[in-house]
Amino acid sequence: MKALRAVALAQLAFFLAWAGWEEWKVASAPLIILETAPVDPRDLLSGQYVALRYSISNLQLTTGCPKAGTRLNTPIWVHLKPAVTRVVGGMEWKVWTAAECSLSRPAVFPVKDLTQGVWVAGIFSDSGVVYGIERYYFSEDRIREMGRIRTGQMLVEAAVGRNGKLVMKRIIY
């Protein structure tokens, strides 16, 4: 019986450590705004979500970014800078876009000066660069509300983690 209790405690420790890691990643992280285009499928485990595709996902024409045919799952670093202004939800937002790419990790972490832009980590996949913020989970009560959002009417506020990974904070629409 002691062994079974130990298993339960080990599972508890796993979930607590995971939650702690996620909390630590975004604690006092800088926030940036990104432009999206949503669609809405469902995940068996975590429920309803909007699948998001970002303007910073398609980087074939950006300096230093990998071209089609590059080996999949290659980690890449993308330099984002605030570039254009969008009006969404009756407010003006500065949207960040990609300026350049690098296949090696830049020595700028943790980020201190946002005016120089930020480097974020992504993975080169067959659908462009993915950042781990391509889904936004929401309550099924809001399906209709989310379904009304059209392309160009939704922005994402993301935190830049200490390791350059983006973490979604909220959607703006």
Partner 1 sequence: MKRGHRKWLEGEVRAWADEGLITGKQADAILARNRKENARPSIVGFNLLAALGGLCVALGIVLVISHNWENIHRFWKLGVFLFVLLGTGEVLSALPERSRIGRAAVLILWILLPLGGIGLWGQVYQIHGDSFKPLLFWLILSAPIVWLTADRVAALLHTAGIIIAAWVGAVSSGTWLTLRISSVNWLMGRKVEQPDLTLPAVVSAYGLALLGVVLMWAWAFYQARKYLGKGSMRTALVAGLGFLLWLGMSRTVFETGGMAGAFLLGGALTTAFWGLRALIGLDELESDLTAILATGGVLYSMTFFWGWHSFFPLWGDVGILAQPYLFVIAVASACVLLLADFTGIAQSGWPDRCLRILVATPLLLGLAMFFFPPKAVALLANLSFALLGLWLINAGVVQNRSARINAGVVLTGFLVFTRFIDYFGTMLQSGMAYIATGVIFMLLAYSLNKGRQLLLARAQGGME
Nearest CA to 86 out of 4, 19, 157 is that of: 157
Sequence-ordered list of residues with C-beta below 8 angstroms from that of 149, at least 6 positions apart, any chain? 38, 50, 173
Contact flag: residue 85 with partner 1 (CB under 8 A): no
Buried b (16+ CB within 10 A) or exposed e, 50-69: bebbbbbbebeebeebbeee
Residues 108-147 vs partner 1: string with x where CB under 8 A?
-----------------xx-----xxxxxxxxx-x-----
> Which residue of 14, 75, 83, 106 would you call a contact of partner 1, by CB under 8 A?
14
168 beta partners = 158
Min separation Cβ 115 and partner 1, Å: 27
Number of residues that bind partner 1 (CB under 8 A): 42
What's the CA gap between 105 and 165, in Å, rounded?
Answer: 12
Q: How far is the CB of 34 from partner 1 (least distance, A)?
A: 13
By CB under 8 A, the residues from 46 to 65 that bind partner 1 are 46-49
- Using CB under 8 A as the binding rule, whether residue 67 contacts partner 1 is answered as no
Smallest separation, CB 62 to partner 1 (Å): 18
The correct pick among 71, 112, 144, 148 for binding partner 1 (CB under 8 A) is 71
CB 168 to partner 1: min, Å: 4
CB of 15 to partner 1, least distance (A): 6
Q: Could you give the 3-state DSSP secondary structure of residue 52?
A: strand
DSSP 28-47: T--EEEEEEEEE--EETTTE
- DSSP label at residue 141: G
Which residues contribute to the site for partner 1 (CB under 8 A)? 1, 3-5, 7-12, 14-16, 18-19, 22, 43-49, 68-69, 71-73, 125-126, 132-140, 142, 167-168
